[in-house]
Structure 1
């Protein structure tokens, strides 16, 4: 089970199902003047009169999940329980779930997660402006699944499926960032950050022009191009032989993975750029480009489907749970086996160095200060990362009832639907604590897993001078 969970996470496909845009911080805190980490969303923004240092590891923690489907669309009550089965749950693949595809988009179905943990952060006034230093641990995962692939997995009765392209990626790295913002005139303020990146691992699975045709012997003939690139220290594929056509020809295909060590697997650099313009006493406009950069990985452990036509028995539903009623126990392992059989990848070994780009983010914002204790703001965020790009617009009302308390409530619409967020920020003398959500937590399963894939949490403890 442990190796299979690694297999799913490292190869990325369905990575969210077993758990997530680059985490840039709490979007709810963008217009909150006392929020210490505004500089992570625009390096021109900073609390110029405030000096702070984070409490290590817990100074700034951000975790987010997002997507246009969730656990409630994958996991169902088993209609055969308890008369014909002792398993309380089943998946949308079950032939007894008639409307199992209703929760999925007819186009691309996307889901992802990201985590950003501030290991250490500080901000102080100096050199004619405001300076910041950050060390962050960052991890992301994204999956794009076409509807036709899900229809094929459930086997809706067609003899031919044109599944198109499936894409998945997971990345983790340590970020060391130095930032500076500077007031260049009464109206203009600019800022920038230089980031040094220590790559811990990257995995990318891409499948193009995938098709399935039911043959005369009632087996699926799978065609298309698939490639998996993994850059993780000590990583290797494990393989076994399999017959792949009616002529008894065999090939070696990947059925497991092994990681014998951990460490730094790559190095890179990135930069943030930002500017703020005061359009009068009440209006502020700002723009920023974040995470424009790359990581160069020292190795590329690659696998491809070297045969373009392979027989496949099809995906089979597995009932979930039992006495433990845990939906993530044995089925995750067995679904991994089924998917690796479908992908039929052959290990090609280490192909040398490779370079990956980070997902850059564009932020545009406008705010209006109605009075000393209330400000309205509109923030537009766009992530630029190929198959995993997204956009969001967020309208917020920001308040400061006391000199040491501020926060906001906000609503947003975007690629992954509407959401409601909030933030509370407490900053009495000598101390700062904040907590908030860009996406309010909805219903949970019995195991504490969100049924909806959109949820975000930010919290932190800092010493403030």
Structure 2
């Protein structure tokens, strides 16, 4: 059946690429650093981000494996060839692994500041995708029987989770100094949902018993908001799912998917050299109302072997009919149903804590620790940084980041300003540029602002 499972597999493969852009915090004078903490005051006066060029970023993460783990030189008779090395991939996996992508384009942005307060506005197009997958997914390559130890192999794919969403946000930010030491900030975001796919639950178990009976159980629910065409069989079950290629692209922005988001932050500056900050970003939700479907599949399939006695005594049997009936029984055990209903999803919140110390005007030392919550799992990462600055005209930074299953990531960034024009570019993963085949993380952020 060209069913939901095929569509989900294709989506899973397409998201094989969340990381951060922490270097942004330590480059002086970049207005977009308020997106890390709305209480930050990186600019004086006013600024305007060039349409679609003020901030362009892409962050990718795969904590499980790098490309060089998949493709390796062969050995023995294959020593002159490259091979797909699933054993090396399996060895590099942790119990729980993350595939994630985050991208955004600032369509327009501007801000105004006075001595006490600042106001910013952003219109951003954003995309986020996260997939949790267990290391046990590669154990499927062993089949269901350990012949060396003469025992069954059981498989569980019940720790998988996926969430992909695209949306546009209109964000209004306000920050203000309170007394001599504190500043607070908040950003309120009105969200226009474009599309979503999320696994409400994903439980698949395969168990083999000593008598070689195989039992497969599944309990899956996938929620979607996207233009799709669904066909049904004569019993009303989902037969195939295809994307609607004739959909009017304008409906992505005029649909009824709406929500709210919030960024909340504060800073404490006990003296002119030390600044400590904390923020919670992307608190909020989108309520999906347009083109929504929830697909369900719950069933059990038991395979207790094949009777080959007729073959042994030469009475013959039609194996083709047998396998056709077996395939039909398998398919009937996992029929997919659907229903249309509204639902809510979060927008993948994160928490960050920053510390910056300036022993000299031209030198900044700092740290930022970020944490993400993905399907109930706490994912921390930390970055230390050293920045060198030449007045308001040049700022540079070098960073070192420690992340899940990838402890060594060198990053760098630079900001150049001539007159009102400000250019900046940064990455937290220079090693990804120098050695992409060994990288599990990749990110870059760049943009152009006019500072007045």
Q: TM-score, normalised by structure 1?
A: 0.78
Tell me which of 278, 285, 298 is aligned to 1:287. 278
Aligned to 1:39, which of 29, 34, 37?
34
Q: For residues 118 and 219 of structure 2, what CA distance do their matches in structure 1 show?
A: 50
**Within-5 A mapping of 1:100-115:** 100-105=89-94, 107-115=95-103
Gap change, CA 1:404 and 1:348, over 3 Å in 2 = same
Of 25, 48, 59, the residue aligned with 1:64 is 59
**Separation in 1, partners of 2:302, 2:337:** 16
Alpha-carbon distance in 2 for matches of 1:98, 1:189 = 52
Q: Who is 2:109 aligned against?
A: 121
- Could you tell me how far apart the structure 2 residues matched to 1:240 and 1:454 are? 43
Q: 1:235 aligns with which of 228, 233, 241?
A: 228
Q: Give the conservation status (yes or no) of the 8 Å contact 1:29–1:38.
A: yes
Matched, 1:172 2:160: no
Q: Which residue in the other structure is 1:415 paired with?
A: 404
For 2:174 and 2:109, the matched residues in 1 are separated by 14
* Cα shift at 1:399: 1.2
Please give the per-residue CA displacement for 1:217-241, whole angstroms capped at 9, x wherever unaligned.
Answer: 9895421311111012x22345669
CA distance in 2 between partners of 1:81 and 1:367 (Å): 54
Match of 1:403 in 2: 392
Does the CA contact (< 8 Å) of 1:283 and 1:366 recur in 2? yes
The match for 1:453 is 440
CA contact (8 A) 2:217 2:298 kept: no
What is the CA distance between 1:76 and its match in structure 2? 2.4
C-alpha displacement at 1:169, in angstroms? Answer: 1.1
**Residue correspondence of structure 1 range 17-416 to structure 2 within 5 A:** 17=16, 20-21=17-18, 26-72=21-67, 75-76=70-71, 91-92=84-85, 99-105=88-94, 107-126=95-114, 128-153=116-141, 155=143, 157-158=145-146, 159=152, 160-214=154-208, 221-232=215-226, 234-238=227-231, 252=237, 255-259=240-244, 260-261=246-247, 262=249, 263-264=252-253, 265=255, 266-299=257-290, 300-309=292-301, 344=334, 346-350=336-340, 352-387=341-376, 389-416=378-405
The answer to whether the Cα contact below 8 Å between 1:134 and 1:178 also exists between their aligned partners in 2 is yes
Shift of 1:444: 8.3
CA separation in 2, counterparts of 1:41 and 1:296? 25
Relative distance call for 1:341 and 1:220 in structure 2 (3 A) is farther
Deviation, 1:344, is: 4.7
TM-score, normalization: structure 2? 0.80
Cα offset for 1:257?
Answer: 2.3
Matched residue count: 412
Aligned-partner Cα distance in 2 for 1:197–1:6: 30
The CA distance in 2 between the partners of 1:428 and 1:30, in whole Å, is 21
The 10-residue stretch of structure 1 (193-202 or 116-125) with the greater mean CA deviation from structure 2? 116-125
Task: Give the deviation of 1:68 after TM superposition.
Answer: 1.3
TM-superposed deviation, 1:369 = 1.0
> For residue 425 of structure 1, what is the aligned residue in structure 2?
415
- Is the alpha carbon distance of 1:203 and 1:343 closer, same or farther for their aligned partners in structure 2, counting shifts above 3 Å? farther
Q: Offset of 1:274 from its aligned partner?
A: 1.0
Deviation at 1:59, TM superposition (A): 1.2
Q: Helix, strand or coil: the match of 2:365?
A: strand
User: Structure 1 CA distance, aligned partners of 2:26 and 2:259?
Assistant: 31
SS at 1:30 equivalent: helix
* Distance of aligned partners of 1:432 and 1:239 in 2 relative to their CA distance in 1, 3 Å threshold: farther
Shift in CA distance, 416/75, structure 1 to aligned 2, threshold 3 Å: closer
Is the CA contact (8 Å cut-off) linking 1:226 and 1:345 kept in structure 2?
A: no
SS in 1 for 2:136: helix
Q: How many Å separate the matches in 2 of 1:267 and 1:89?
A: 49
- State the SS of the aligned residue for 1:37: helix
Aligned equivalents of 1:70 and 1:342: distance in 2? 36
Q: Distance in 1 between matches of 2:333 and 2:353?
A: 41
In terms of Rg, which structure is larger? 2
Q: Offset of 1:134 from its aligned partner?
A: 0.4
Aligned equivalents of 2:332, 2:378: Cα separation in 1: 27
Shift of 1:5: 13
SS in 2 for 1:427: strand
**Whole-Å separation in 1 of the counterparts to 2:87 and 2:334:** 29
Tell me, which stretches of 5 or more residues in structure 1 are unaligned? 242-249, 312-339
